[in-house]
Amino acid sequence: MADTGMPIGGFILTPELIQRVRDGSLTGVVLSFFLCLLVCLASIWIYCVPSARHHLDRVSFRLLLWSMGMELVYNVTFIVLTRDGDLTYDRTACSAGVYFLLATLGFCNWICTCIGINLMLAISFGINPIQARLERWYILGSVILGFGVPLVPAALGHFGLDPIYNVCYFTQADKVLRIRDFVLDLYFWQLLSCLVAAVSVSTVLVTLYRQSRATERALLRNNLHITSSELREITTATGTGTTTFPSTPSGVSPSPTSAPSAKGKWYSRFLPNRERLPKSRMHRLEDKLAIIALKISLYPLALIFVNVIITAEDLSYSTRGGLFTEGQYAVYWLHNFLYGGRGIFFALLGIFVDPCLRLGFPAAVRATFRPRRRYARHAGDQEQGQTDWDDTQSITDFLASTSPEFGVGIDEGKGTFSSSPGWSLFSRRGRRESERTVGMGRQLDLEEANEKAGLGGEMDSLDERKGVQTTESPSTGIVLPELSLGAADTTIPRLSVTIDSPSPPQLPVRFSHSISRPSRSSIPPRSPVFDSTNPDWIEPLATAVLARSTSAQSVTRRSSVPTLGVAERRRRELQVAAEELYAQAQMRL
């Protein structure tokens, strides 16, 4: 440092204070190194876990990893340049060290700027960066600008031992020429990257605000004619001009839901007098969009914050020629800390804010140390959604969706299905018996299904041509013929389905769109009950599926959602479409 120990205004810059500045910069660079290394190692570990790898599949996070890797090189170079040794007296080594320091610094600046550019292209202009393969151009452009710009000042001899900082930096001692070298060689490009990042983030925030307001107006005004394609046009709009919506259909009056009344509250006078949807229904889509935008845009915002402080203090210190007050010393200490530890902010954002590591790390921990059980142990786990059994529908569930609502069982020794509740198909004994007999998972009335589908005559004619061999069962039931297929030498096994007469307290047999599920404690495994290579149950099952799918009077598949009104159904479709678009947009950010 120059002018150490100059008493001006009661402030004396002593060697101890200068050493504190160097210790602060060293602390920042060491902390930045370990945080960046933590992000890289955590990402590698998550990538090695197949079940958690998809959390890292986002363009902005991959760009962040490039920045973290280059920050490691920057930190090592900074430590080498600021240490005491013979490097400061070797002009060539000092100039090369400054070049790599500024090159890695420029690469990190431009790669963070590309995060903002990618966010703007994906949200404001509707460009898919994955399909357009823009990621490679982001990296290539950052390498060219980061490593190409410092080549000119390095060739002109602007790098070397700094007479003011007393470290390897800029060699110019004259104030005017020093500021010129600072601006043309370094800070013009840093401010340019900050300007591009600021424009990108501002465009994204404005676009998201307009889209969220348009979506809210559509939901409030009960625009039932809005379709997913129209919503996509709203989502991919650039924000220019006004967005108009179709009017509500005749006979349906707009009925927006008012927010909870705030009358009598002290803050009620400050609230805008407008109707809004409650958060329980709308989940505040505009808030979700704002959160998504802020999480990604925090990277370029952090870049702007760090670069503005470093640039302002560097130019101010070079203009003053020293430190003369305690306030200037505090700002100078912060400048050195940020110069060495600039990667701290980006690493902290990646760890605590970015959803990639925030979701991927717990997923990797669960998959590695606490493998998730596939099925619930008891009803409480099932009700809390810890398994996905309710979200899937097996082929037997589909076949039973239009069958009579009665229990399923197997008559021991008869090879028939009965309504005996003690022989549930989902019990162990029931499964063993089903494997030894016909192998069907639900009770099927195929003859009635064939008659509904218009296949009864065809089956009769087929019986006459091929020769029908039927065997009556002692119990009352429906007997399927055993058909001989001739040359194929393959037979469809006889399937006898019986329906026991209901007792007086039981309900009569009826068709329904739903069927009672087994108890929570006897939920079957996801794998099929019968061997998939056994043809004894595949062919009748396929025949039943064909009969059910071709039936003109087939009852609608069961649904967990009750019948909704037209307005409510359209609002729900609009909200679901918006959520899907937002989820797709996150993969491109």
417 forms beta bridges with 410, 497
Burial class (CB within 10 angstroms; exposed 0-12, middle 13-18, buried 19+) of 523: middle
In order of their start, the domains of the chain are 15-243+281-370+582-588 (1.20.1070.10), 402-501+529-556 (no CATH)
pLDDT of residue 89: 63
Report the pLDDT value the prediction gives residue 372, as an integer from 0 to 100. 55
CA dist list (Å): 179 to 96, 162, 340: 21, 13, 21
**Three-class SS state of 144:** helix
- pLDDT in the model for residue 289: 58
**Residuewise pLDDT in 10s, the chain (589 residues):** 334 444 445 678 788 888 888 889 999 999 999 999 999 999 999 999 999 998 888 899 999 999 999 999 999 999 888 875 555 567 788 889 999 999 999 999 999 999 999 989 988 888 888 888 999 999 999 999 999 999 999 999 899 888 877 788 888 888 888 889 988 998 999 999 999 999 999 998 888 778 766 666 655 554 444 444 544 444 444 333 333 333 333 333 334 444 444 444 444 444 444 444 444 334 455 566 567 667 888 889 899 999 998 888 888 887 887 788 888 889 989 988 999 999 999 999 999 888 889 889 999 999 988 765 544 444 344 333 333 333 334 443 444 444 444 333 434 344 444 434 333 333 444 444 444 444 444 444 444 544 544 444 544 544 444 444 444 444 444 444 444 444 444 444 444 444 444 444 444 444 434 344 444 444 444 433 334 444 444 444 444 444 444 444 444 444 444 556 777 777 777 777 766 666 665 667 6
Measured distance between the N- and C-terminal CA atoms of the chain, rounded to whole angstroms: 45
Task: Please give the torsion angle defined by the CA atoms of residues 330, 336, 339 and 340, in that order, rounded to the nearest 10 degrees.
Answer: -130
